[in-house]
Amino acid sequence: MAPLILLLFLLSEAASDLIVETVPGHDVILPCQADDSSIKAVKWSRPDLKPDIVLLYRDGHLNKYDQNPSFKDRVELVDRDLKDGDVSLILKNVKSNYTGIYKCGVKTGDTDLIRVIRTVRLQVTEPDLTVVTVPGDDVILPCRADDSSIRAVEWTRPDLKPDIVLYYRAGRLNTTDQHPSYKGRVELVDRDLKDGDVSSILKNVNKHDAGTYNCRVITGDTDPIRIIRTIYLQVPDLVVETVPGDNATLPCQADDSSIRAVEWTRPDLEPDIVLLYSDGHLETDTSIHPLRTGWSWWTEI
Ligand SMILES: *[C@@H]1O[C@H](CO)[C@@H](O)[C@H](O)[C@H]1NC(C)=O
Ligand SMILES: *[C@@H]1O[C@H](CO)[C@@H](O)[C@H](O)[C@H]1NC(C)=O
Ligand SMILES: *[C@@H]1O[C@H](CO)[C@@H](O)[C@H](O)[C@H]1NC(C)=O
């Protein structure tokens, strides 16, 4: 019996390993799909932690008692109805230390066992640089290689498939495996790569361009490709500029007027809420970031 169990274990260990990459402060989905829809329980775990439970969902409820405290209020299922076997996990406002291997397990109809059906590796990388732009603009993603004998340049977005944004080799751009959304919109700033300049320019930016970009080069003949810079491109709807000491207004308009609560957050802070307005008054409890003291709230009637 033991060898059979070991074999099953190995098989389940090997099940489609997926890598999800993001930067701190974002919500991220770890996809997982069960082929059986009669799911009795879902368990997401991180075997390197104690307790290892990231999320445990059983009989229509999240079990918070056995959960690792680091994930309290930071995890949710994409769909609590588990429609069509979707047991994907949402991790909210991820930190660098969310980097790790997550196992997705389900218990289905006829067995007591929670069976691991997928392993997902989450990589949360602090970008070397954050670039902010607005939709419609052109933006330069700066990158310089210290070695000038560059054989190939590659810009990638690890969250896309295919992940190639730009690929340049032997004096020309190669668009064969380029992600379709970047076709005709991306170019090197200097095709001569003078002084190791491998910056790229992205034209007519849209909201879907927001994400992590890796600047990679191949130099010497036998050298492997190496990441020399990670840039996070932020594409907010609006950029408000101000100077220290001034008041700034961040405009926001809801199309429904029956608003019961308003929340402003800054995902890079902990806690992330900067303003919470509900039932006619501002909340000021400790779950709100101390920045709140600088915030006011007004309505136009
Ligand atoms: C990550 O670090 C924070 C402190 O900054 C800690 O509270 C939390 O438990 C850690 N989470 C994990 C998953 O290690
Ligand atoms: C472009 O790259 C692909 C592989 O990504 C390769 O098969 C093809 O030969 C390249 N085309 C040119 C013109 O170099
Ligand atoms: C900022 O707003 C406060 C409160 O409304 C007001 O008292 C202050 O004069 C304003 N400061 C500037 C620089 O406009």
41 in Cβ contact with 56 (< 8 Å): yes
* pLDDT (average), residues 3-17: 46
Look at residue 154 and tell me if it is in a domain: yes
pLDDT at res. 59: 84
Structural domain including 202 reads 129-234
Higher-confidence residue of 238 and 268: namely 238
Cα gap 223→241, rounded to integer Å? 44
pLDDT for 291 beyond 70: no
Look at residue 214 and tell me if it is in a domain: yes
**Kind plus residue range of the DSSP H or E element containing 12:** helix 2-14
Q: Are residues 120 and 137 in the same domain?
A: no
95: Cβ below 6 Å to ligand 1?
Answer: yes
243: Cβ below 6 Å to ligand 3?
Answer: no
Output the CA 96–ligand 1 centroid distance in Å.
Answer: 9
pLDDT at res. 295: 57
Nearest CA to ligand 1 atom 9: 70
pLDDT for 15 beyond 50: no
Highest mean predicted confidence (pLDDT) among 7-21, 80-94, 217-231: 80-94
How many structural domains compose the chain?
Answer: 3
Nearest CA to ligand 1 atom 11: 70
pLDDT at res. 227: 83
111: Cβ below 6 Å to ligand 3?
Answer: no
* pLDDT (average), residues 237-255: 90
**Cα separations in angstroms, 173 against 4, 76, 162:** 51, 42, 16
Q: Are residues 144 and 115 in the same domain?
A: no
Q: Are residues 43 and 12 in the same domain?
A: yes
* pLDDT (average), residues 41-48: 96
Look at residue 243 and tell me if it is in a domain: no
Q: Are residues 157 and 67 in the same domain?
A: no
pLDDT at res. 241: 87
Nearest CA to ligand 2 atom 3: 176
Q: Are residues 30 and 55 in the same domain?
A: yes
Atom of ligand 3 nearest to the CA of 245: 13
**Cα separations in angstroms, 116 against 67, 74, 106, 107, 243:** 17, 22, 7, 9, 52
Q: Are residues 213 and 136 in the same domain?
A: yes
Neighbours of 27 (CB within 10 A): 13
Nearest CA to ligand 2 atom 6: 176
246: Cβ below 6 Å to ligand 3?
Answer: yes
pTM strictly above 0.75: no
Atom of ligand 1 nearest to the CA of 71: 13
Query: What confidence tens digit (pLDDT) does each residue in 78-111 have?
Result: 999 898 999 999 999 888 999 999 999 999 877 7
Q: Are residues 9 and 118 in the same domain?
A: yes
For a substitution probing ligand 3, which of 247, 250, 298 has the most ligand atoms within 8 Å of its CB? 247
Of the residues 97, 124, 151, the one at which a domain ends: 124
Residue 37, domain CATH = 2.60.40.10
pLDDT for 30 beyond 70: yes
pLDDT for 116 beyond 70: yes
Look at residue 255 and tell me if it is in a domain: no
Query: What confidence tens digit (pLDDT) does each residue in 161-192 have?
Result: 898 999 999 899 999 999 999 999 999 999 99
Q: Are residues 156 and 76 in the same domain?
A: no
Of the residues 105, 124, 143, the one at which a domain ends: 124
Q: Are residues 173 and 88 in the same domain?
A: no
Q: Name every protein residue with a CB atom under 6 angstroms from any ligand 2 atom.
A: 174, 176-177
- Percent of the chain past pLDDT 70, that is, above it, reads 88
Of the residues 200, 234, 268, the one at which a domain ends: 234
**Kind plus residue range of the DSSP H or E element containing 20:** strand 17-22
pLDDT at res. 109: 77
Q: Are residues 90 and 34 in the same domain?
A: yes
Q: Are residues 89 and 152 in the same domain?
A: no
Query: How many residues in total does the chain contain?
Result: 301
**Going by DSSP bridges, is the β-strand pair 172-173/115-124 parallel, antiparallel, or unpaired?**
unpaired
Nearest CA to ligand 3 atom 6: 247
Q: Are residues 170 and 116 in the same domain?
A: no
Q: For the chain, what is the mean pLDDT?
A: 86
Atom of ligand 1 nearest to the CA of 270: 5
pLDDT for 195 beyond 80: yes
97: Cβ below 6 Å to ligand 1?
Answer: yes
Highest mean predicted confidence (pLDDT) among 59-63, 179-183, 229-233: 179-183
Which letter, b or e, does each residue of 242-252 get, where b requires 16 or more Cβ atoms within 10 Å of its Cβ? Answer: eeeeeeeeeee
